[in-house]
Amino acid sequence: MVSELMTEYGNNRCLIREISEICNKKAAEIGRENLCDFSIGNPSVPSPLAVREAMLDILTNENPLNIHSYTSAPGMMETRDAIAENLNKRFGTSYTGKNLYITSGASTSLVCAIKAVLKDADSEIIGIAPYFAEYKAFTEGNGGRFKLVPADTEKFQINFDALEALITEKTQGVIINSPNNPSGVIYSAETLRKLSALLKEKSCEYGHIIYLISDEPYRELVYGDEPLPFTAKFYNNTIVCYSYSKSFSLPGERIGYVLVPGEADNWEEVYSAVAGGARASGFICAPSLMQKVIARCADIEPDISVYRKNRDFLYKSLTEIGYECAEPAGAFYLFVKAPNGDATPFCMKAMEDNLFIVPGSEFGCPTHFRAAYCVDYEMIERSIPLFKKAFEEATK
């Protein structure tokens, strides 16, 4: 016999990937130019030139034994220092490389952080809908319990009454994600202040720290003029999980980090627990070539103009048709209310017309659907009549 839970996770794959695969099959039959695929968050902008040049230069000019050998488990110190300096310049913090643990992307970072804070089989982690559904698997797969705060479908900030009601003496952590997948919404400074006050109050009440796990793979994809509020500055006991998958368009290269700020209570112990989480999961030594690339490129800013143009056009076109949509301020997703209020049948019907979008049930918010606009502009243009037809059929 093998683990029932793992078998279940293995068999019930993530719906986004299912839809993406159905779409790929259909593309093989009828040609990709005849369908509109908004299913998956794969960056459509090539990684920055400086990143690709760094890879080539390292591969051409450095000793291959050094490039491809094991690094220390938490990552190369020059990489960790370069990231710390970049964060300090941008957010006025005073981190050093010792606050950073290099990982193979945000998924790995999240598993390390979750493992670090779970104390026993009763420990609970709370997520906020709409949310990245893997949080549940990452928590339960590591022996914890997962609870979900229902979405604030007005503004897609945090439903604080529901969050407060879910926090108990078993709560070890709350996971947030801003800019958010799937809503594209950014949590405001006011939301983060309120969250910080609540977590401080509840940590006091229950006599132990409730950690804030801040999942930030879209941190650099922000379209407004206002800088993104940096979560760790609002709450000391924050563990930041980052990835270069989206900002540097490197999802297949697997590189990211966990940041344990020096302001966290007993931060060195928390850092050790993160390192232990990595070790116990077999996640030591992130890809060494990528570590070297990040050491050189930590200050590179991604060009988000393509995503901004896609966002502006898709948002304008869909709202003109009559769709209601959360304000898309960051990441590369639109989260749109299904006209008939139930996104699953709406998405299934759209799929018959070769429009591939993801039902919000996947993100704990079944009234909405997600359209990933990290795609070709030309495809968005082609998709508008399909969105119009779907809207008209659902509202007639």
Quick one: 46 or 341, whose CB is closer to ligand PLP? 46
Quick one: 114 or 390, whose CB is closer to ligand PLP? 114
- Minimum CB distance to ligand PLP, residue 248 (Å): 11
CB atoms within 10 A of CB 76: 19
Quick one: 132 or 373, whose CB is closer to ligand PLP? 132
- Minimum CB distance to ligand PLP, residue 273 (Å): 20
Instruction: Please answer whether residues 107 and 101 qualify as being in contact, where contact means their C-beta atoms are separated by less than 8 angstroms.
Output: no
Quick one: 195 or 286, whose CB is closer to ligand PLP? 286
- Minimum CB distance to ligand PLP, residue 40 (Å): 8
- Minimum CB distance to ligand PLP, residue 262 (Å): 24
Quick one: 152 or 215, whose CB is closer to ligand PLP? 215
- Tell me which DSSP letter residue 329 carries: -
- Minimum CB distance to ligand PLP, residue 201 (Å): 27
- DSSP secondary structure string for all residues of 350-391: HHHTTEE-EEGGGGT-TTEEEEE--S-HHHHHHHHHHHHHHH
In which residue are the tokens 């270069």 written? 244
Quick one: 152 or 216, whose CB is closer to ligand PLP? 216
User: What are the φ/ψ torsions at residue 222 (nearest 5 degrees)?
Assistant: -130, 130
* Torsion angle in degrees (nearest 10) through CA of 45, 47, 49, 52: -150
Distance CA 8, CA 156 (A): 30
Quick one: 37 or 215, whose CB is closer to ligand PLP? 215
Quick one: 183 or 203, whose CB is closer to ligand PLP? 183
Angle at 353 between CA 348 and CA 359, to 5 degrees: 30
- Minimum CB distance to ligand PLP, residue 244 (Å): 8
Going through the chain in order, the beta strands assigned E by DSSP cover 36-37, 100-103, 124-128, 145-149, 171-177, 211-215, 238-243, 256-259, 333-337, 355-356, 358-359, 368-372
Distance CA 391, CA 338 (A): 8
Distance CA 170, CA 210 (A): 9
Residue 45: burial class (beta carbons within 10 Å; 0-12, 13-18, 19+): middle
Quick one: 247 or 288, whose CB is closer to ligand PLP? 247
* Torsion angle in degrees (nearest 10) through CA of 7, 9, 14, 19: 10
Distance CA 116, CA 258 (A): 11
Quick one: 181 or 288, whose CB is closer to ligand PLP? 181
- Minimum CB distance to ligand PLP, residue 180 (Å): 7
Decide the pairing of beta strands 145-149 and 355-356. Answer: unpaired
User: What are the φ/ψ torsions at residue 172 (nearest 5 degrees)?
Assistant: -105, -25
- Minimum CB distance to ligand PLP, residue 381 (Å): 25
- Minimum CB distance to ligand PLP, residue 1 (Å): 30
- Minimum CB distance to ligand PLP, residue 140 (Å): 17
Residues 6+ positions from 287 with CB-CB distance below 8 Å: 104, 253, 254, 255
Residues in contact with ligand PLP by the rule CB under 6 A: 41, 105-107, 132, 177, 181, 215, 217, 243, 245, 251, 256
